[in-house]
Amino acid sequence: MIGAIAGDIIGSVYEWHRIKTKEFPLFSPRCFFTDDSVLTIALADAILTEEDYGKKMKEYYHRYPDAGYGERFHQWAQSRDSQAYNSWGNGAAMRISPAGFAFDSLESVLEKAAEFTAITHNHPEGIKGGQATAAAIFLARTGHSKPEIREYIETTCHYDLSQTLDDIRPDYRFSESCQKTVPQAIISFLESTDYEDAIRNAISLGGDSDTLACITGGIAEAFYGDVPEVIRKKALDILDDPLRRITETFFDKYLLTLNHSIF
């Protein structure tokens, strides 16, 4: 999960100052954690405590009201009503990484990803984005190859992963949709050589950089087995104490030794 959080933090300064290159300082002095990290950690907290994720999201929203949420999420989090709002936004995928690490079968990962996503993002494309991200993480952490992950996502989730980053980059623009974020984030992982390279790939597309890198980072962490110590430490240092504590507790329980059983 720290892979997703580190991706969010590294990408935070490029969301509105987008770049089309892999050559950039990994951590800017202006880096910060966004709603992507807050809601990811809220899900980790809900899984650890077996509490309702909808309530946790609202709790974390009120603790971190200025983290950069979308307008519809603001309205949902501030309302007494907890009805989902049929969103297909990429928020469905950026917060789901804990589900890919915490459950022991592909079936349960898909079920939980749909359940957690549908609290707000109950549009079919929102649910698909959450499930595709969580499934890629599960497959990556259970020893599947990149071709196997690609085939599963293309066959089951019907995302086209045939483009290369060089094909995508020139015309790619900012998008808040799962449809135009999740496939590109997965391709960023598929073309990577290690965790850092995956993050650089995602940010170099010049899109919704923190969310792209957050999604890519969770998958890359699962596949490569860890986040480099210098990156992990820097990201944890940027979190405040409560967020860091939940992140470390989740890591100790679910990620300390990645489970490489085959589904």
- Look at residue 260 and tell me if it is in a domain: no
Q: Is residue 27 part of a domain?
A: no
CA distance 82 to 223: 35
- Determine, yes or no, domain membership for 7: yes
Residue 257: what pLDDT? 57
42 vs 57: CA distance, rounded Å: 6
Q: What count of residues does the chain have? A: 263
pLDDT of residue 259: 40
Q: Residue 262 domain-assigned?
A: no
- Residue 175 falls within a domain, yes or no? yes
pLDDT at residue 104, rounded to an integer: 94
Question: From first to last of its 263 residues, what are the pLDDT tens digits of the chain?
Answer: 999 999 999 999 998 899 999 999 999 999 999 999 999 999 999 999 999 999 999 999 999 999 999 999 999 999 998 899 999 999 999 999 999 999 999 999 999 999 999 999 999 999 999 999 999 999 999 999 999 999 999 999 999 999 999 999 999 999 999 999 999 999 999 999 999 999 999 999 999 999 999 999 999 999 999 899 999 999 999 999 999 999 999 999 998 755 433 33
Residue range(s) defining the domain that contains residue 209: 2-20+32-255
User: At 168, which helix (H) or strand (E)?
Assistant: helix 165-168
Say how far apart CA 25 and CA 69 lie, in whole Å: 25
Tokens of 194: 């290690």
* 54 within 8 A of 119, measured Cβ to Cβ: yes
pLDDT number for residue 81: 87
CATH code for the domain of 225: 1.10.4080.10
pLDDT at 255: 80
pLDDT at residue 154, as a whole number: 98
How far is the C-alpha of 107 from the C-alpha of 86, rounded, in Å? 24
End-to-end CA gap in the chain? 20
pLDDT attached to residue 261: 36
CB 51 within 8 A of CB 45: yes
Neighbours of 155 (CB within 10 A): 9
If you write DSSP's letter for every residue of 142-177 in order, what string do you get? TT--HHHHHHHIIIII-----S-HHHHGGG-----B
Quote the number of domains for the chain: 1
